[in-house]
Amino acid sequence: MAGFREARGDLQLDKVTKAFGDFTAVDDIDLHVPRGSFFALLGPSGCGKTTTLRMIAGLEQPTAGRVMIGDTDLTGSRPYERPVNTVFQSYALFPHLSIKDNVAFGPKRRKDKDAATRTDEALELVQMTQFAGRKPSQLSGGQQQRVALARALVNHPEVLLLDEPLGALDLKLRREMQVELKRIQTEVGLTFIHVTHDQEEAMTMADTVAVMNKGHIEQLGAPAALYDLPRTRFVANFLGQANTGVGTIKDTDGDHLVADVLGTPVKILKSRSQVHEGEVLFGVRPEKVTVSRSQPEGAGNDVKGVVRDVSFLGVATSYLVDMPSGTTWSCYEQNLDVEPLDLRPGDEVWLTWNPGHAFGVPVDDETAQR
Amino acid sequence: MSALAHVAGDPDVTPAPPAPEATKRGWTAYLLLLPGALWLGVFFVLPLVQLAAVSLQSRYPGFPGYYYRDVNFQNYAAALTDYAPHFARSFLYAGLATFLAFVVAYPLAYAMAFKAGKWRNLMMICVIAPFFTSFILRTFAWSQILADEGWVAGTLNFLNVLPGGNIINTPLAVVAGLTYNFLPFMVLPIYASLERADPRVIEAGGDLYANGFTTFRTVTLPMSMPGVLAGTLLTFIPAAGDFVNMELLGPQRGKMVGNVINDQFLAIPGGYPVAAALSFTLMAAILVMVFLYVRRFGTEELV
Ligand SMILES: Nc1ncnc2c1ncn2[C@@H]1O[C@H](COP(=O)(O)OP(=O)(O)OP(=O)(O)O)[C@@H](O)[C@H]1O
Ligand SMILES: [Mg+2]
C-alpha cells in the first residue's frame, strides 16, 4: 500500500476509457506526460477533461485502460494512496474548517513534521495569510480558489491536477498566479496537469498542450507547433483564429498541392496538408495574410475580397474581408507605413499569403479521426 | 391577560413619521408576524402564565380540589424533593433513547444520503410511514411485540439471555419504545445535513490522504453536526417529557416525571399546584440542559 504513494516518474495513461452507462465520456486516451513538465488540457465544455483528471486522482476508476506513474500501476488504488493532489473545479473546501486547517489537512494526514511551516508558506504564496482564521464561506470566489490551490500545492505531490484553478480570478491576479505556478512547477519539479478554457494561459504556461474533443485527444504538441500546424478542423478553429476555405485538390506543383477554390488555384505545401486528394479545408492564420489594393506580384496565393469592417487597434489595423466563397476572413495591417492603406468598407482588396504558412486538414472531422 | 392586550394592541399604534421606504418594509414584517404572534399569545403565553399562577397556589386544608391564590414556593420544594428520582429517570431514559436513536439513525441517514440510489425515496417513505398511524396505537403495538408471550421475549428467553425473564414492564421496554417513537426526528435532520454536503468536499478528503474512516471522522461527521445537534434535541426534549411509553410499556413503580405530572393533574385530588410546579421545573431543567449542550456542541458558523 505504501508503494503507491512513493511512485515517481512520468505519468502515463494507457488506453484509458471511461463510460457512464452507454455514454463514453473519455474514449481510449493514450497520454505520456514526462516528469516535471507542464501539461495543459484544453477543450470545450463537456469534452471529458474533469473525468480524465478524476481518473488520474483515483476518484473515478477507468472502465478500461491503465493509469501509471513511472513503473507503478495506480489503476484500482484509492485516491489517498496516490501521490496526486487535485485543485477541484468547484474548490471543494472543507466548510467546517478554517482556511489554515483546510491547507494543513493534507500535511497533517501525512504526519508531516513541518506541517505548520509548510501551511504558512503555502498561504503566503497565494496571499491569503491574513484570512487564515476565516471559514471558507466568509471568502470571495477568487479567494476560495486560491485556498484550494494552496491546499493542494502544500503537499508537493508527484502530480498536481488543476481543474481550471484560476478561472475566478481577475486578470491581474491571474497573471500573478500564472507566474507563481510556473515558478513552483519549475523549482520543485512537479508534474502539472492543467485544465483551462483560457488558450492564452495554456499557450504561455504549458510545455505541451493537448486539445480534447468529445472524449478523445485531437492533437497534442508544443503550443507553437499546435498553432502553426493543426491537424484537424476542430483544432484549427479551437486554438486561435483561422481563415479557412474549402477546395478540391486538382494538381501538384513540386512540393505543393494545388487546390481549386471556386476557380482560383490555391497552393498548400504537401508536408503541411493532412489530405492529398479530394476535398481539403485549407487555412491560414490572420497575421500571416497580407492586404493590398492591387493584385501583388509573386508566387503567393491571392484571393480577391471586399472589406466589410475596419477597426483601428493602434499597433495594427484589423480588417474583416468578405470572400467570394461566402466566408469572412480576418487579417491585419501593421501600422508602420507612412501612408497607410486607408481602406473603407466596400473597397475591393487582394489577400495574399505564403503557401508555406497555409495548412490543409480534412473537411470533415469525423471521417478524419476514426 | 396583559400579554394578550400587548400583542393585540401593537397594530393599532400609528406610525409616527410619514413612512419612508425602510419603515414601510419594517411594518410589513410586523404584519406578517401578527398571526403567529397572536396564536402564540393565546395558546402558549396565556396558558403558561396561568400555569405559573397555579404552581404558586395553596390548597384549602380539608377541601381536596380547592385552592386559593398565593405565592407558595412549597410546591416547588415538593417537586424537587419528592420527585427527584423521577426527574433523574426521565433524563436517564431520554438520554439513553437519544443515544440509541443516534446510533441507529446515523448509519440509516448515511445510507439514504450516499448509498441508496434509486431506493432513496422508498427508504424516506419507510422512515415517515409510522406518522400515518397514531403514536398511542403504535406504542400499544409495541406492548404486544415486547409482551412475555411475544416472539422477542420468547426468543431471548429461549437463548437464556434475558435476566429478568421479561421485557415488558421494565425500563428496557420504555427506552426501546422511546427510541422507536422518536427515531424519525433523529433520522430526518441528519439525513438533510448529509444530503446537503457537497460530494466533492468528501472526495477532497480522500484526495488529501485521508482514508475512508479518517475522511468520515474529519470531514463527513463534522459537516453533518448541525443535523446531529437538531436530531438529538428533537429526540431528547420530547422524550424527557413523555409519559405514554412509560404508561404502556413501563413498570408499575419507578415512573418518569411525565407520569407524575399526568397523575397529579388527573388522578390525585388537589394535585394541580404540584403538577404545575413539576411542569415548570421540567421545562427549566430542559432549557438549561439544551442551552449548555448547544453552547458546547453548537457550530453556528457552519452553513
Ligand atoms: N457521473 C457521471 N455520470 C454521467 N455522466 C457524467 C458523469 N460525469 C461526467 N459525465 C459526463 O461526461 C462528460 C464529460 O464531463 P466532464 O466533467 O469531464 O467535462 P469537462 O470537460 O470537465 O467540462 P467542463 O469544461 O464544463 O468542466 C459530460 O458530458 C458529462 O455530462
Ligand atoms: Mg470540468
pLDDT-derived band at B285, boundaries 50, 70, 90: very high
In this structure, the number of other CB atoms found within 10 A of the CB of residue B84 comes to: 11
Identify whether residues A120 and A195 lie together within a single domain.
yes
Residue A154 near residue A79 (C-beta atoms within 8 A): no
User: SS3 of A300, please?
Assistant: coil
A206: in domain: yes
Interface subset of B 174-203, CB within 8 angstroms of A: 198, 200-201, 203
Identify whether residues A201 and A265 lie together within a single domain.
no
SS (H, E, C) B199-263: HHHHHHHHHCCCCHHHHHHHHHHHHCHHHHHHHHHHHHHHHHHCCHHHHHHCCCCCCCHHHHHHH
Å from CA of A42 to ligand 2 middle: 11
CA distances (Å), origin A37, targets A197, A207, B237? 19, 6, 60
Does residue B77 register a pLDDT over 70?
yes
From the number of C-beta atoms within 10 Å of its C-beta (0-12, 13-18, 19+), residue A84 rates as: buried
CA angle A241, A245, A247 (to 5 degrees): 150
Chain A residue with CA closest to B211: the answer is: A80
Angstrom distance (rounded) from CA A237 to CA A221: 16
Grid cell at residue A251: 494538381
Residue ranges with strand state E in chain B: 58-59, 67-68
Q: What residues have their beta carbon closer than 5 A to ion ligand 2?
A: A 50, 89
pLDDT at B120: 93
pLDDT at A314: 87
Beta carbons within 8 Å of A266's beta carbon, 6+ residues apart: A245, A247, A258, A259, A260, A282, A301, A303, A358
pLDDT at B300: 54
Identify whether residues A88 and A209 lie together within a single domain.
yes
CA angle A66, A189, A93 (to 5 degrees): 70
pLDDT-derived band at B3, boundaries 50, 70, 90: very low
pLDDT digits (tens, 9 = 90+) for B104-123: 999 999 999 999 889 999 99
Which residue in the block uniquely carries the three cell numbers 411594518?
Answer: B27
Question: How far is CA A282 from its chain centroid?
Answer: 22
Look at residues A182, A200, A228 and tell me which one is the last residue of a structural domain: A228
A39: in domain: yes
pLDDT digits (tens, 9 = 90+) for A328-358: 999 999 888 787 888 889 999 999 999 889 9
pLDDT at B23: 62
CA distances (Å), origin A331, targets A88, A199, A241, A269, A352? 39, 20, 10, 21, 10
Angstrom distance (rounded) from CA B244 to CA B139: 8
Q: Which of A257, A219, A254, A221 is CA-nearest to residue A238?
A: A219
| Mutation pick for ligand 1 pocket among A20, A54, A86, A162 (CB with most ligand atoms within 8 Å) | A20
Question: Residue B264 pairs with which residues in a beta bridge?
Answer: none
Angstrom distance (rounded) from CA A41 to CA B100: 51
pLDDT at A253: 86
- Give the ipTM of the model, two decimals please: 0.84
Q: Which residues of chain A fall short of a pLDDT of 70?
A: 1-2, 299, 365-370
Identify whether residues A203 and A349 lie together within a single domain.
no
pLDDT at A224: 92
A234: in domain: no
A258: in domain: yes
Torsion on CA atoms A240, A246, A247, A253, rounded to nearest 10:
0
Identify whether residues A188 and A329 lie together within a single domain.
no
Angstrom distance (rounded) from CA A192 to CA A185: 7
Does residue B287 register a pLDDT over 60?
yes
Identify whether residues A278 and A158 lie together within a single domain.
no
Does residue B154 register a pLDDT over 90?
no
Q: Which of B17, B15, B46 is CA-nearest to residue B28?
A: B15
Q: Report strand pairing: A348-353 vs A290-292.
A: antiparallel
Given strand A72-73, what is the order of strands in its sheet?
A23-33, A11-20, A64-69, A72-73
CA distance A109 to chain B (A): 6
Tell me whether A59 touches chain B (CB under 8 Å).
Answer: yes
Partner residue opposite A109 with nearest CB, options B198, B214, B223:
B214
- Domain with residue A176: its CATH number is 3.40.50.300
Contacts within 8 Å (CB) and 24+ apart, B70-73: B72/B273
From the number of C-beta atoms within 10 Å of its C-beta (0-12, 13-18, 19+), residue B225 rates as: middle
pLDDT at B40: 93
Identify whether residues A206 and A263 lie together within a single domain.
no
- Domain with residue A250: its CATH number is 2.40.50.140
Residue B179 near residue B102 (C-beta atoms within 8 A): no
Look at residues A176, A205, A228 and tell me which one is the last residue of a structural domain: A228
User: SS3 of A90, please?
Assistant: coil
Question: Residue A192 pairs with which residues in a beta bridge?
Answer: A38, A160
Residue A248 near residue A279 (C-beta atoms within 8 A): yes
Tell me the CATH number for domain B82-302: 1.10.3720.10
What does R_g of chain B's alpha carbons equal in angstroms?
24
Look at residues A167, A194, A228 and tell me which one is the last residue of a structural domain: A228
A233: in domain: no
State the total domains in chain A. 2
Interface subset of A 78-117, CB within 8 angstroms of B: 78-80, 84-86, 88, 90, 92-97, 105-106, 109-110
User: SS3 of A241, please?
Assistant: coil
Does residue B60 register a pLDDT over 60?
yes
| Mutation pick for ligand 1 pocket among A16, A17, A23, A87 (CB with most ligand atoms within 8 Å) | A23
CA distance A80 to chain B (A): 4
Which residue in the block uniquely carries the three cell numbers 410586523?
Answer: B30
Identify whether residues A291 and A209 lie together within a single domain.
no
**Mean of pLDDT values over B72-96:** 92
φ, ψ of residue B281 to 5 degrees: the values are -65, -45
Residue bearing the CA closest to ligand 1, atom 1:
A20
Å from CA of A234 to ligand 2 middle: 19
Which residue in the block uniquely carries the three cell numbers 472502465?
Answer: A63
Identify whether residues A221 and A253 lie together within a single domain.
no
Residue B202 near residue B168 (C-beta atoms within 8 A): no
Q: Report strand pairing: A23-33 vs A316-322.
A: unpaired
**Mean of pLDDT values over B267-290:** 90
pTM (2 decimals)? 0.83
> Among the listed ranges A328-332, B39-43, B77-81, B100-104, which one has the minimum average pLDDT value?
B77-81
Identify whether residues A188 and A272 lie together within a single domain.
no
Domain range enclosing A146: 11-228
CA distance B239 to chain A (A): 30
pLDDT digits (tens, 9 = 90+) for B159-209: 888 887 788 999 999 999 999 999 999 999 999 999 999 999 999 999 999
pLDDT-derived band at B22, boundaries 50, 70, 90: low
